[in-house]
Amino acid sequence: MSKVKGLLIRTDGTAEFKTVEDELNTYYTELNCDCIDIVTRFIGDEEFVITCDDEGLLKEPVPSITVFDTDGEPMIVGNVFICRRNGPEMASISDEDVKLLRKNIAILVVNGQCKMVFVCGYRSAHP
């Protein structure tokens, strides 16, 4: 099984660049969920893959909104893992990607809870 380096952002306000096994059960564990969705979005001018909890809005209480677009609209709730794609496979982020992600993502933590992660230039890769 291959490994993938990406950015793991949790709703408790923590974030880390982490290398994980590229397998379904690993994403369930890391994202603390039972069903994932994988979407492609632009952060800045670069295309990234965001793996997230597909059932985040169905949980009680609803997890913090993790990703907002540049207009302040909520896009994704719950924990997320951001990486690249190489064809149909997940791929690791590069050192340049790390710099881009640090520049474009801010985590607001209030009373120990992640209130939002704002991703500048966030837009759908496929309109």
Tokens representing residue 20 in the block: 């994980």
- Smallest CA-to-CA distance from 80 within 95, 64, 92, 60 is with 64
Specify the residue for token string 């923590």: 14
Q: What are phi and psi of 35, to 5 degrees?
A: -150, 125
From first to last of its 127 residues, the chain has per-residue pLDDT tens of 799 999 998 877 788 999 999 999 999 999 999 999 998 888 878 889 999 988 877 777 766 666 666 676 677 778 899 999 998 899 999 999 999 888 877 766 666 665 555 555 545 555 4
Asked if 41 contacts 122 with a C-beta cutoff of 8 angstroms, the reply is: yes
Residue 126 contacts by C-beta under 8 Å, 6 or more apart in sequence?
Answer: 40
Asked if 53 contacts 68 with a C-beta cutoff of 8 angstroms, the reply is: no
pTM for the structure as a whole = 0.82
Provide the pLDDT for residue 42: 82
Round to the nearest angstrom and report the end-to-end CA distance of the chain: 33
pLDDT tens for each residue of 10-33: 877 788 999 999 999 999 999 999
Provide the pLDDT for residue 33: 92
